[in-house]
Amino acid sequence: MSGEGSWRSADYAERFKTHDHADFAQEFLRRNPDYAREYSQTEQRALADPAKAQEEREGLARRWGLSFPLRSGKIGDG
């Protein structure tokens, strides 16, 4: 491999030992081209109609099975 090392090596495992399942799931989702496209479209709609921004984002989360259990308050609270 080109300087990356094998995912089976002890060094590779050490680099990711503090990551949990959610960390890996987030990274896979971020790299999913279908999700990236839908996220971009959702954000464009949210910017075009700020009154519906939360509804748009909640729809995206629902379609992709996302939840944010530690979030307090509404999206956009400053």
Identify the three-state secondary structure at position 64.
Answer: coil
Q: Is the pLDDT of residue 57 over 90?
A: yes
As a whole number of angstroms, the distance between CA 22 and CA 46 comes to 26
Q: Is the pLDDT of residue 21 over 70?
A: yes
Between 75 and 8, the higher pLDDT residue: 8
Q: Is the pLDDT of residue 32 over 60?
A: yes
Kindly list the distances between the CA atom of residue 64 and the CA atoms of 36, 57, 72, in Å, as whole numbers in the listed order: 11, 11, 20
Average pLDDT over residues 49-55: 96
As a whole number of angstroms, the distance between CA 27 and CA 30 comes to 5
pTM of the model: 0.64
Cβ count near 46 (within 10 Å) = 19
Q: To the nearest whole percent, how much of the chain has pLDDT over 70?
A: 78
Predicted pLDDT of residue 2? 47
As a whole number of angstroms, the distance between CA 49 and CA 23 comes to 31
